[in-house]
Amino acid sequence: MITIGQLASYAGVTVKAVRVYHARGLLPEPPRDASGYRRYTAEDAISLVKIRTLAEAGVPLARIRDLLTADPAAFAAAIAEIDRGLARKAAGLRRSRERIAQLSGGDRLFVSDEMAAFLGRLREIGVSARGVQLERDLWILLQSVSPAQAAVWFADKQDALADPEFQAIYREFDAAFCWPADDPRLPALAGRAHRWLAARAGPGTEAARAAVPAQDPAVTELIQSSAVLSPAWEKLAGLGRELRAGESGPAGPS
């Protein structure tokens, strides 16, 4: 007859673990002797070794009691089922580790590699950290809620970024975020951007955009509501609308 401490030592577990197994009904709890101590037998030690082995193998405690009394066929089937569950968990952990490893890549945790390279290009041409973050956050949302539309817009943005004039306009728009709404440079910037867009517009661009299915109005509203605007950017947006309206409106008197 051995004490609980000896039992735990022989089986390679802690006394606390033995008590947990008692509480879970995996190991019968013997009565106390005349001295008030519980005394265990060799059979208890063997059972405890079996419990420890199954637990260390990843078998849930809730399944161990049935396995201890199962016949060979039932035992093999249960172990196979548990192994499949562990394999699924292992695959999930591997995917999680891969995502965690991407943390060192910064933007690549949130967007595609192609998009991360695009954001890196924005930094290279002198766009501020604030501007890059605003762009990144918008693409995170857009690529999630409307991948087809995002693909068209992204291809268009990449193509535009190859133009030095667009790069200059982009940098000036980025700087204008902090300008006052009545800054005299805003009308000139709006005009410059409008002329660039008018010169660039063509059948190919419009055809590509038309090929994308109509977007859910709720998605459009969500994306628009996510845009971060400053007073100067709101002024630029208004100036742009005025310029477009002026071109599409009826001709005035000669």
Contact 12, 52 (CB under 8 A): yes
- Is pTM beyond 0.75 here? no
Give one word for 58, left, alpha or beta, with left for phi > 0 and alpha for psi -120 to 50.
left
Res 213: pLDDT: 53
Per-residue pLDDT of 194-226, as tens digits, reads 999 988 875 555 555 555 555 666 666 766 666
Per-residue pLDDT of 111-152, as tens digits, reads 778 888 899 899 999 999 999 988 888 888 888 877 888 888
- CB atoms under 10 Å from CB of 237, counted, come to 13
Share of the chain above pLDDT 90, in %: 30
Give the span between the Cα atoms of 151 and 24, in whole angstroms. 55
Per-residue pLDDT of 228-240, as tens digits, reads 778 999 999 999 9
Contact 118, 161 (CB under 8 A): yes
Contact 26, 68 (CB under 8 A): yes
Average pLDDT of 96-124?
75
3-state SS class at 237? helix
Which pLDDT band holds residue 253 (cuts at 50, 70, 90)?
Answer: very low
Share of the chain above pLDDT 70, in %: 83
Res 15: pLDDT: 93
Per-residue pLDDT of 40-81, as tens digits, reads 988 989 889 989 988 888 888 888 888 888 888 888 888 888
Give the span between the Cα atoms of 84 and 69, in whole angstroms. 21
Give the span between the Cα atoms of 3 and 39, in whole angstroms. 5
